[in-house]
């Protein structure tokens, strides 16, 4: 493989990521400064704190990425950067830093949508990893994270048709909320996944919101139900209502975590598989932080394999926010001639593809 | 520490963005200011490019980058510092963060002559931030007035219509003299070998949502990927 080498910058939320990616696939470096621990005490991201941490870490992350790849800015063929969607203050740090690098080193500047980055993580190859087929078109991509939950159809590169998505909360938000209810802290996703794997009883069933034949999903009802089910469990164990006062039995936490996770996984997997069948997809791509969830990965993989559909799920470190995925999408945009000027600004609500009537 | 080349100054802490070129001795060579509102990022680089072209200075000739660290509007500060860091990194030149508040007081003092001065700037829609020389900036909650000592005068920046007219006028003079004051401070620090650490330079924040503690700059962040983990087969 030999194609353009992109320096890619991601700072839309609470990870500062800078990567060097060759030809939109091969990772040469992918350095991420994660602020997860920084925001744990507040149980969520404080935008001002996040933006300052981006400013603090962006230079060391760049230096580390260049050193790991063993290249200098002279070897770079372009600078890709996330310009939305995301937190305005966080986006601004990466955008202005990337713009300045492109300006000072006289490199093309390529604006990338964060959400298409999550999709394109499916194209990435780690350093030293064997070559493998790129995800085949047409495909269905499911992106699930703390801020986003949607399904798109792709018939070619950079061509997205919105199939459906959450009508209220993102799946990751529901994980955080239920994680808190179960006393598992923030972020909820990894903790719920870990607890669910320990469950020995699988009897507590959480509701599923199917929303008819659409590809839309909803998690607010599930959150409400979770609150009720956890409250009932606390009462059964003679605990006060406030989840900070006394913990549920470990076995109960595991069982409830499993029940909640099974509901999320069931709906997401069923809709993704149905969408793939309907459009005759040859491939399914999973992306976003929640795609690191092993139950979701196992369920969709199994169903895809049974139907002969190629399944592409990046390793967990490439599902969460990182620069490499921006480099993968950026390469396609660079090839398509997409460029940004020095006036590039943050687009906090940038859509990937608008819902259309089908 | 300084390489002797001109200093490029960027300040985006107030609604009037300022860029300037100064000699290594801190003398003001050329400056450009414009009303950026809260969209500093859109014009900054193009304005820098034009200033350098007008002055016949190549980017590679710059000897240092100086940048205002506030207090001021969060959006502007992020844009200014991210841009300054990118330039200092790309050009391998030192960076100096200059407290915008102290420089505004310096500029106001040289315009107003003698007398103790107190700077007030907006902080969010209702609060104000108050800066006295030699003291940490502090928040002045909406509806409260600064407790001025006898003889102290107010310098109001970005508070036209929300502050006494003479304070706003003095604030206008302070903004006019900001570039010169900042360049003087930056040159002095560079000459003393007192440049900032490029990684650790962050804006001066005075306000945070209620109940949120400002973490230490190195707190709570984990860097991964320097030696990427291999994908599992
Ligand atoms: Zn994301």
Q: Where are the domains of chain B?
A: 7-100+178-231, 101-175
Which of A112-116, A180-184, A185-189, A238-242 holds the top average pLDDT? A112-116
Contact criterion met (CB < 8 Å) for B74 and A48: yes
Contact criterion met (CB < 8 Å) for A34 and B85: no
Quote the CA–CA distance of A351 and A172 in Å, as a whole number.
Answer: 18
Count CB-CB contacts under 10 A for residue A161. 17
As separate numbers, helices (DSSP H) first and strands (DSSP E) second, chain B gives 5, 10
Q: What is the ipTM of this complex?
A: 0.93
Q: Distance, in angstroms, between A160 CA and closest chain B CA?
A: 27
CATH of B7-100+178-231 among 3.40.1350.10, 3.30.420.40, 2.60.40.10, 3.30.930.10: 3.30.420.40
Contact criterion met (CB < 8 Å) for A88 and B75: yes
Rounded to two decimals, the pTM is 0.94
**Which residues in chain B touch residue A33, judged by CB atoms under 8 angstroms apart?**
221-223
- Mean pLDDT over B148-153 rounds to 91
Q: Distance, in angstroms, between B151 CA and closest chain A CA?
A: 36
CB nearest to A55's CB, from B90, B202, B218: B202
A290 CA distance to ligand 1 centroid (A)?
A: 10
* Residue written as token pair 């492109």: A102
For residue B3, the 8-state DSSP code is -
Contact criterion met (CB < 8 Å) for B200 and A56: yes
Q: What is the pLDDT of residue B221?
A: 85
Handedness of CA B36, B37, B41, B42 (dihedral sign): negative
Structure tokens at A39: 């925001």
Count CB-CB contacts under 10 A for residue B44. 27
pLDDT band at B2 (very low <50, low <70, confident <90, very high): very low
- Residues with CB in 5 Å of ion ligand 1: A 145, 321
- Mean pLDDT over B159-175 rounds to 92
DSSP A92-133: HHHHHHHHHHHHHHT--EEEEEHHHHHHHGGG-B-TTPPP-P
Q: What is the pLDDT of residue A266?
A: 97
As separate numbers, helices (DSSP H) first and strands (DSSP E) second, chain A gives 11, 10
Structure tokens at B215: 């973490």
Q: What is the pLDDT of residue B230?
A: 36
Q: What is the pLDDT of residues A152-196, one digit of tens each?
A: 999 999 999 999 999 999 999 999 999 999 999 888 999 999 999
Q: What is the pLDDT of residue A77?
A: 98
pLDDT band at B226 (very low <50, low <70, confident <90, very high): low
- Mean pLDDT over A287-309 rounds to 96
Query: Which residues have a Cβ under 8 Å from the Cβ of B80 and sit 6 or more positions away?
Result: B10, B11, B12, B13, B17, B40, B44, B67, B68
Q: What is the pLDDT of residue B233?
A: 30
Q: What is the pLDDT of residue B160?
A: 85
Count CB-CB contacts under 10 A for residue A203. 8
pLDDT band at A38 (very low <50, low <70, confident <90, very high): confident
């Amino acid at each position: 493989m030999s194609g353009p080498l992109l320096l890619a910058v991601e700072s839309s939320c609470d990870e500062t990521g800078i990567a060097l990616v060759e030809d939109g696939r091969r990772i040469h470096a992918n350095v991420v400064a994660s602020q997860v621990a920084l925001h744990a005490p507040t149980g969520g991201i404080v935008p001002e704190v996040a933006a300052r941490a981006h400013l603090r870490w962006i230079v060391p992350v760049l230096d580390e990425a260049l050193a790991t790849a063993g290249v200098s800015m002279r070897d770079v063929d372009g600078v890709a950067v996330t310009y939305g969607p995301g937190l305005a203050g966080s986006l601004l740090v990466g955008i202005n830093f990337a713009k300045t690098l492109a300006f000072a080193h006289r490199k093309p500047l390529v604006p990338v949508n964060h959400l298409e980055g999550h999709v394109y993580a499916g194209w990435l190859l780690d350093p030293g990893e064997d070559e493998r087929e790129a995800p085949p078109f047409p495909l269905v991509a499911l992106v699930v994270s703390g801020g986003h939950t949607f399904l798109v159809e792709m018939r070619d590169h950079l061509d997205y048709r919105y199939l459906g998505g959450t009508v209220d909360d993102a799946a990751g938000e529901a994980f955080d909320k239920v994680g808190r209810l179960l006393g598992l802290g923030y972020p909820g996703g990894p903790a719920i996944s870990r607890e669910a794997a320990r469950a020995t009883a699988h009897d507590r069933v959480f509701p599923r919101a199917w929303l008819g034949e659409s590809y839309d999903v909803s998690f607010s009802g599930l959150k409400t139900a979770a609150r009720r089910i956890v409250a009932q469990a606390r009462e059964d164990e003679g605990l006060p209502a406030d989840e900070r006062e006394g913990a549920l039995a470990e076995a109960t936490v595991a069982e409830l975590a499993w029940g909640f996770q099974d509901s999320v996984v069931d709906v997401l997997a069923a809709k993704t598989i149905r969408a793939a069948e309907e459009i005759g997809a040859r491939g399914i791509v999973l992306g976003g932080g929640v795609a690191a969830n092993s139950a979701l990965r196992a369920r969709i993989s199994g169903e895809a394999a049974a139907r002969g559909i190629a399944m592409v799920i990046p390793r967990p470190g490439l599902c969460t926010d990182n620069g490499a995925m921006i480099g993968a999408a950026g390469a396609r945009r660079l090839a398509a001639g997409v460029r940004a000027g020095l006036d590039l600004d943050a687009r906090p609500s940038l859509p990937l593809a608008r819902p259309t009537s089908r | 520490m300084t390489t002797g080349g001109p200093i490029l100054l960027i300040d985006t802490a107030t609604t009037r963005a300022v860029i300037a070129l100064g000699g290594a001795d801190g003398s003001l060579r050329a400056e450009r200011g414009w009303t950026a509102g809260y969209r500093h990022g859109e014009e900054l680089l193009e304005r820098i490019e034009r200033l350098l072209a007008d002055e016949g200075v190549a980017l590679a000739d710059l000897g240092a980058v100086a940048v205002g660290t506030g207090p001021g509007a969060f959006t502007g500060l992020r844009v200014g510092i991210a841009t300054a860091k990118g330039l200092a990194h790309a050009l391998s030149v030192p960076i100096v963060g200059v407290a915008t508040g102290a420089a505004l007081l310096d500029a106001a003092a040289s315009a107003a002559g003698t007398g103790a001065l107190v700077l007030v700037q907006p902080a969010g829609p209702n609060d104000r931030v108050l800066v006295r020389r030699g003291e940490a900036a502090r928040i002045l909650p909406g509806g409260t007035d600064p407790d001025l000592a006898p003889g102290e005068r107010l310098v109001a920046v970005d508070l036209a219509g929300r502050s006494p007219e003479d304070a706003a006028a003095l604030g206008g003079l302070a903004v006019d003299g900001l570039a010169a004051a900042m360049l003087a401070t930056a040159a002095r620090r560079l000459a003393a070998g007192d440049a900032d650490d490029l990684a650790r330079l962050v804006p001066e924040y005075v306000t945070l949502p209620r109940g949120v503690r400002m973490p230490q700059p190195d707190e709570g962040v984990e860097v991964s990927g320097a030696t990427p983990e291999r994908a599992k087969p």
